[in-house]
């Protein structure tokens, strides 16, 4: 089990790092559309390869199967710290000095939110936002855990990263998935839309009884860049989504741009987070 987890881990981290650098570059403020277009397959081959696989295999049936497998929360009970420490085993041991651990990324995100005086629930959302990556440790391939997410069961937006790779997705052969709204009613609201499977949907579900709706939107849709940065999929949104969007957008820079900040001092911060976690969560929750 340890062996397998660590093999998956190294693999998972490699793409995660190039992916987050890629996303950070892509959405850097002031970056023009032309510069964005330069992030093509020849410029960032690992990221391109990742999305090729992701776009091919994230079919509607795949998503339904993963929702069935994970959303019943039958992986057992863990405290937030246990989940964070479990996730922290996703460390690239070949280069421990330059890479942030998973907990350090979570703390940098949450500390940046805290420094800006945002509500405690938002600090907590920052701290838990990537805990869904424990999916890697349960054997899920990286293309089913990280990366930009998008709706399945309807036409793909050209605003999703590397849209050309959707050509290999067999959902293209299913007539009912091909129209703009596909299997969904127009303006049905994102709560009725199935997203490509990954750590967002999973952590949003794990946290559903414990955090306010604004926080749940930050968790569920933080990788849905086509929506929160590019404004795609308007035809699926309802008023509630539109009301929540500013919160998702408010969250995004803390996830992307806190990376360069000083390494957080875990020991010093622990008492604050113990308090914060106890305020919102019971001792253990279902995963
Ligand atoms: Fe994430
Ligand atoms: Fe993150």
pLDDT digits (tens, 9 = 90+) for 98-141: 478 899 999 999 999 999 999 999 999 999 999 999 999 999 99
DSSP letter at 286?
E
Q: Residue 107 in contact with residue 21, Cβ under 8 Å? A: no
Distance of CA 255 to the CA centre of its chain: 10
Length of the chain: 287
Question: If residue 77 lies in a helix (H) or strand (E), which one and from where to where?
Answer: strand 77-78
- The domain in which residue 142 lies consists of 2-286
Q: Residue 55 in contact with residue 196, Cβ under 8 Å? A: no
Per the listing, tokens 């390494």 go with 263
Angle at the Cα of 140 from the Cα atoms of 138 and 146, rounded to 5 degrees: 115
Residues of the chain with pLDDT > 90, as a percent, come to 76
Of the two residues 163 and 29, the one the predictor is more confident about is: 163
- The residues that bridge with 195 in the sheet, in sequence order, are 151
Distance CA 90, CA 86 (A): 8
Ligand 2 centroid vs 211 CA: distance in angstroms? 18
Q: Residue 130 in contact with residue 90, Cβ under 8 Å? A: no
Nearest ligand, CA 112: 2
Ligand 1 centroid vs 248 CA: distance in angstroms? 12
Question: If residue 78 lies in a helix (H) or strand (E), which one and from where to where?
Answer: strand 77-78
Ligand 2 centroid vs 255 CA: distance in angstroms? 5
Average pLDDT for the chain: 87
Give the predicted TM-score (pTM) of the model: 0.87
Question: pLDDT of 170-208, one tens digit each?
Answer: 999 999 999 999 999 999 999 999 999 999 999 999 999
Work out how many domains the chain is built from and give that number: 1
Distance CA 286, CA 206 (A): 7
Nearest ligand, CA 146: 1
Distance of CA 26 to the CA centre of its chain: 16
Ligand 2 centroid vs 105 CA: distance in angstroms? 7
Ligand 1 centroid vs 149 CA: distance in angstroms? 10
Average pLDDT over residues 262-272: 93
User: What's the chain's Rg over C-alpha atoms?
Assistant: 18
Distance CA 112, CA 251 (A): 10
Torsion angle of C-alpha atoms 143, 60, 196, 224, degrees rounded to 10? 140
137 Cβ neighbours under 8 A, 6+ residues apart: 5, 8, 9, 86, 87, 89, 90
């Amino acid at each position: 089990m340890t062996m397998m987890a660590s093999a998956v881990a190294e693999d998972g981290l490699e793409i995660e790092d190039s992916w987050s650098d890629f996303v950070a570059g892509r959405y850097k403020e002031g970056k023009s559309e032309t510069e964005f277009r330069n992030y093509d397959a020849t410029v960032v081959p690992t990221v391109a390869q990742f999305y090729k696989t992701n776009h091919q295999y994230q079919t509607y049936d795949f998503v339904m199967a993963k929702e069935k497998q994970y959303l019943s929360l039958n992986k057992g009970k863990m405290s937030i710290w246990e989940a964070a420490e479990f996730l922290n085993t996703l460390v690239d041991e070949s280069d421990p000095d330059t890479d942030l651990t998973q907990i350090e990324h979570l703390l940098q995100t949450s500390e940046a939110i805290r420094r800006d005086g945002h509500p405690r629930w938002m600090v907590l959302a920052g701290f838990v936002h990537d805990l869904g990556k424990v999916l890697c440790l349960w054997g899920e391939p990286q293309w089913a855990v990280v990366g930009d997410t998008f709706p399945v069961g309807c036409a793909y937006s050209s605003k999703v990263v590397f849209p050309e790779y959707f050509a290999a997705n067999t959902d293209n052969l299913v007539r009912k998935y091909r129209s703009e709204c596909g299997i969904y009613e127009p303006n049905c609201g994102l709560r009725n839309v199935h997203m490509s499977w990954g750590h967002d949907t999973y952590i949003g579900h794990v946290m559903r009884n414990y955090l306010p709706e604004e926080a749940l939107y930050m968790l569920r849709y933080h990788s849905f860049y086509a929506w929160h940065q590019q404004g795609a999929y308007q035809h699926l949104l309802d008023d509630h989504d539109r009301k929540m969007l500013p919160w998702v957008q408010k969250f995004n820079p803390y996830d992307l741009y806190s990376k360069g900040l000083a390494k957080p001092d875990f020991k010093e911060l622990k008492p604050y987070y113990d308090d914060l976690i106890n305020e919102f969560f019971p001792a253990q929750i279902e995963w």
